[in-house]
Amino acid sequence: MDTWRPPVQGICLPRSASGPARTGLSPSLTAQARGGGDQRAAAPAQAPPPRARDVTVPRHARVDVPVAFRKEAQRLTMANAAEQWVLVEMVQALYEAPAYHLILEGILILWIIRLLFSKTYKLQERSDLTLKEKEELIEEWQPEPLVPPVSKDHPALNYNIVSGPPSHNIVVNGKECINFASFNFLGLLDNPRVKAAALASLKKYGVGTCGPRGFYGTFDVHLDLEDRLAKFMKTEEAIIYSYGFATIASAIPAYSKRGDIVFVDRAACFAIQKGLQASRSDIKIFKHNDMADLERLLKEQEIEDQKNPRKARVTRRFIVVEGIYMNTGTICPLPELIDDIDLISANMENALASVGGFCCGRSFVIDHQRLSGQGYCFSASLPPLLAAAAIEALNIMEENPGIFAVLKEKCRKIHKALQGISGLRVMGESFSPAFHLHLEESTGSREKDVKLLQEIVNQCMNRSIALTQARYLDKEEKCLPPPSIRVVVTVEQTEDELERAAATIKEVAQAVLL
């Protein structure tokens, strides 16, 4: 007998209430579809009544289910089984998950729901004020000043005007004086050789650079100066900045970051303070030039590191000190402090009679600043004429090394001559070219102390001795130094001028303070 094969397009798969799901075939045909085309049903079963588009197959007829139909049935069966298995796994995972894990997930779900349905702003309460009342409030309102009020007598608003170069002799407010105020330690500011080198560079390169070092701001004279500085300081490499203050203020945050620890002297200058602030590091301050106090802080930090060794392994530590402290005139006891120094920073605005600053050290340390030193990367580079002037100043220093011994001896003489002044105390090392004169006893008011010292400065200037008070940003200083008069010694000052200056300061101080 010929086998009748129904066409695939004519097969309809209605859902039966009692039979297999998604098929209109009898149970025997369903079993055959699951098992294969040659499988026979063990016992024939009564087929459901035919419906529209159903196919009625005689019980005795042999029906071979098409291959496409068998594959589709197998796929549906496997999909149903997979869905059931995934659901079982999810339920099992919920039973096996830790309680805290489930609680955390529940909190997160509730928080997400709250964020989705909560308002992101609060509606302002309705104002019952009339238009006239609002206008009156606006007229009465007085905004706070952009800056705090400053007295017209503030020193920053009453500065001295200099005419001509601030060299050995300086003209201040039209009066010629002997200069004991400018940091022209080696007297190179008005040196003919330095000025000639700067003039030649001016004619060759022009005035400025109009670009940072990485953007056509690197001139050959910059590289020459860096090479000369590295050799002079006996280091591998040097890097120059166009602004002295920005040198150390850029170098510190280039290395020290958030979470690092910096041990710093209490008398550190303002540029160091700004660098530390920019680094956002953990700052630990030790007493000025007190190595015992520094050792105490280091031991305390060692104990803290033992409590959390994992954190200690990734925390960097730095010690920052000054060679000669600008605010005190004292010298740092480097031999007692450390044997190996990673970075030396200095400015060229004092002894080199130029502008800017430099850092020197090992090559890999210095190269890091070329990528991370903000003052180097974003400021216009040093004008070539100033770089040429600094190179010539280095030439003079190398040709005449005895100049430092001369300066040291003059510092000792005036330091000794100023001892025993009534009402004043000399602060600083005897061989330091910059030291301070403090009041022996404060009046109890910083403002009054400043006025007393300024009166001494004014009377000395009337006698042709130019001095200056040390200036600070009172509200910005981390550790505000007391008011003082700063005295600067240079190699150009003669012995007679040193004696004259010491005698003048003594006479004026006695007249003002007693």
According to CATH, what is the number of the domain 192-399? 3.40.640.10
- The least confident of 36-45, 98-107, 112-121, 372-381 is 36-45
Bridging pattern class, strands 357-361 and 485-488: unpaired
pLDDT in tens, 386-430: 999 999 999 999 999 999 999 999 999 999 999 989 899 999 999
Is residue 257 predicted with pLDDT exceeding 80? yes
294 within 8 A of 317, measured Cβ to Cβ: no
To which H or E segment does residue 453 belong?
helix 446-462
Q: Is a pLDDT exceeding 90 seen at residue 252?
A: yes
Separation CA 251–CA 45 (nearest Å): 92
DSSP, residue by residue, 266-329: TT--HHHHHHHHHHT-EEEEE-TT-HHHHHHHHHHHHHHHHH-HHHHHT--EEEE--SB-TTT-
Question: Which of 13, 18, 43, 14 lies closest to 28, judged by CA?
Answer: 43
Tell me if 209 sits within 8 A of 380, measured CB to CB: yes
Model pLDDT, residue 103? 86
- Indicate the CATH number for domain 155-182+403-513: 3.90.1150.10
Residue 283 phi, psi dihedral angles, 5° rounding: -100, 130
Q: How far is Cα 415 from Cα 424, in angstroms, rounded to an integer? A: 13
The Cα–Cα gap between 252 and 264 comes to 12
Q: What is the pLDDT of residue 39?
A: 41
Nearest to 347 by CA among 442, 267, 244, 495: 244
**CB-based burial of residue 95 (10 Å sphere; 0-12 exposed, 13-18 middle, 19+ buried)?**
exposed
Confidence at 156, pLDDT banded by 50, 70, 90: confident
pLDDT at position 300, please?
96
- Do the beta carbons of residue 223 and residue 231 sit within 8 Å? no
pLDDT at 278 over 60: yes
Give me the residue spans of the domains in the chain. Answer: 155-182+403-513, 192-399
Is the per-residue pLDDT at 513 higher than 70? Answer: yes
| CA distances in angstroms from 421 to 108, 417, 443, 488, 503, listed in the order given | 74, 9, 17, 18, 10
Instruction: Tell me, rounded to whole angstroms, the distance of Cα 457 from its chain centroid.
Output: 39
Determine the Cα–Cα distance for residues 319 and 317; give it in Å rounded to an integer. Answer: 7
pLDDT of residue 95: 72
**Residue 414: both structure tokens together:** 């005036």
> Three-class SS of residue 263?
strand
pLDDT digit string (tens) for 462-505?
999 999 999 998 889 999 999 999 999 999 999 999 999 999 99
Question: Is the pLDDT at 71 greater than 80, yes or no?
Answer: no
Average pLDDT over all residues of the chain: 84
**Distance between CA 214 and CA 400 in Å, rounded?**
35
